[in-house]
Amino acid sequence: MKINQIDVFKYNIPLKAPIAISLGTIENARNLLIRIHADGLTGWGEGSPFWMIVGETQETGFAAAQDFAKLLIGHNALDLEGNLNRLDAYLPNHPTIKSAFDMALYDLAAQAAGMPLYAFLGGKQRALITDETIYINTPERMAADAVRIQAQGGVAIKVKLGTNLRDDIRRVEAIREAVGDTIPIRTDANQGWNYPTAVNVLQTIQGWNIEYCEQPVKQGAIADLKRLREKTTVPIMADESLFSHRDALRLAQEEAVDYFNIKLSKSGGIFNALKINAIAEAAGIPCMIGCMSESRLAITAKAHFASARQNVTFFDLDAPFEHATDPVIGGAVYTGYHIGLSDQPGLGAEVDSHYLKSLENWTIT
């Protein structure tokens, strides 16, 4: 199954409004789209280069993608490991653009097998219910967002924190006052606290039905993550501390966290995400499937991955809620916060051809 054409697109998607986390503010989703043609089939992949986390931008990814495409053209599309090893051998790191190639190759392989991706990965359809994220704002605005999510039937609220002790406590307190104690809150500091601040915040809010705290301290502070587990009853989740299966092994060996957040744009794609989940499963660490600012195309791939792996127990797949437009045809379907998948072979999703015409692109045949 020979790869005979690869297209690379700067996949820009406007947001309804800027979104703010402790690391910075995003005005628009500046993603990357890969389309691989092989023996009459077309595979689609998307990466969202969140530069403040992965160290990639749309521009660097677009340049790297052209080199990667030259390495893969003419090769067997079904040689998943061989093709992905070619990319790793040529250019270390760059997980986001690699994840887009990985996704397109898995899409092709599942199509060639005549199977939806979740089945190709050895799983079955199961219930997936996403949370919704509230981004950093005033306590009053964040509380209002929480009320809206609860009224829409949300089962969990994810709250971005990581600015300072007083304001972050007040944000969570305001949300609890607004929505009551029943709906769980999932906090995410995105590395915004030092260890003393993390201890103070988490000990203050730990009785407020906090389901976990995601990446409270800097990504390299593994010892602090471990110490936090001993200082608070709030479970700790690794995000920016977890890029690869090697990171997963270290975190598991150190017993540093309670949960892993797997993101395809961090791991380099499905191939490595499967390794991370396998290590987590062996260590008794449940996982979450998370997102950057991907469209429903990549969200569909994440939903297939989550559906195929029972150890993935949390679902944070709300990125399309922030997008002002949806250029994806087919793929995952949201019914409120429930996510459904079709039985079409592969991802069962593609990007509208009219939308593609507006995007800067590059092609190799």
Q: What is the pLDDT of residue 50?
A: 87
Closest CA relative to residue 216, chosen from 176, 243, 185, 187:
187
What CA–CA distance (Å, rounded) separates 44 from 218? Answer: 34
Give the tens place of pLDDT for each residue, 6-17.
999 999 999 999
CATH code, domain carrying 94: 3.30.390.10
pLDDT classification of 119: cutoffs 50, 70, 90: very high
pLDDT classification of 23: cutoffs 50, 70, 90: confident
In total, how many domains does the chain have? Answer: 2
88 annotated as ligand-binding: no
Based on the domain organization, do 127 and 108 belong to the same domain? no
pLDDT classification of 324: cutoffs 50, 70, 90: very high
Based on the domain organization, do 146 and 234 belong to the same domain? yes
What's the average model confidence in pLDDT over 336-358? 97
231 has a pLDDT exceeding 90: yes
Based on the domain organization, do 321 and 297 belong to the same domain? yes
Is residue 364 within a helix (H) or strand (E), and if so which, with residue range? strand 361-364
Based on the domain organization, do 277 and 257 belong to the same domain? yes
Give the range of the structural domain holding residue 49, as residue numbers without chain letter.
Answer: 3-114+353-364
Give the tens place of pLDDT for each residue, 70-85.
999 999 999 999 999 9
pLDDT classification of 190: cutoffs 50, 70, 90: very high
Active site residues: 160, 263
Based on the domain organization, do 297 and 156 belong to the same domain? yes
What CA–CA distance (Å, rounded) separates 288 from 360? Answer: 33
Give the tens place of pLDDT for each residue, 79-110.
999 999 999 999 999 999 999 999 999 999 99
Q: What is the pLDDT of residue 27?
A: 86
Give the percent of the chain with pLDDT over 70.
Answer: 100
pLDDT classification of 212: cutoffs 50, 70, 90: very high
308 has a pLDDT exceeding 90: yes
The residue type at 188: D
Based on the domain organization, do 110 and 129 belong to the same domain? no
Q: What is the pLDDT of residue 338?
A: 98
140 annotated as ligand-binding: no
Based on the domain organization, do 278 and 360 belong to the same domain? no
What CA–CA distance (Å, rounded) separates 241 from 266? Answer: 10
Q: What is the pLDDT of residue 170?
A: 98
Give the tens place of pLDDT for each residue, 238-250.
999 999 999 999 9
What's the average model confidence in pLDDT over 41-66? 95
Based on the domain organization, do 144 and 278 belong to the same domain? yes
CATH code, domain carrying 232: 3.20.20.120
Based on the domain organization, do 246 and 331 belong to the same domain? yes
22 has a pLDDT exceeding 90: no
Based on the domain organization, do 316 and 176 belong to the same domain? yes
24 has a pLDDT exceeding 90: no
Torsion-angle region of residue 326: left (phi > 0), alpha (psi -120 to 50) or beta? beta
Based on the domain organization, do 105 and 151 belong to the same domain? no
140 has a pLDDT exceeding 90: yes
Based on the domain organization, do 231 and 96 belong to the same domain? no
Q: What is the pLDDT of residue 213?
A: 98
Closest CA relative to residue 285, chosen from 235, 228, 216:
235
Closest CA relative to residue 201, chosen from 166, 156, 233:
166
56 annotated as ligand-binding: no
201 has a pLDDT exceeding 90: yes
What's the average model confidence in pLDDT over 279-287? 98
Q: Report, in angstroms and rounded to the nearest whole number, the Rg of the chain calculated over CA atoms.
A: 20
What CA–CA distance (Å, rounded) separates 29 from 252? Answer: 33
Q: What's the mean pLDDT when you consider all of the chain?
A: 97
Q: What is the pLDDT of residue 294?
A: 97
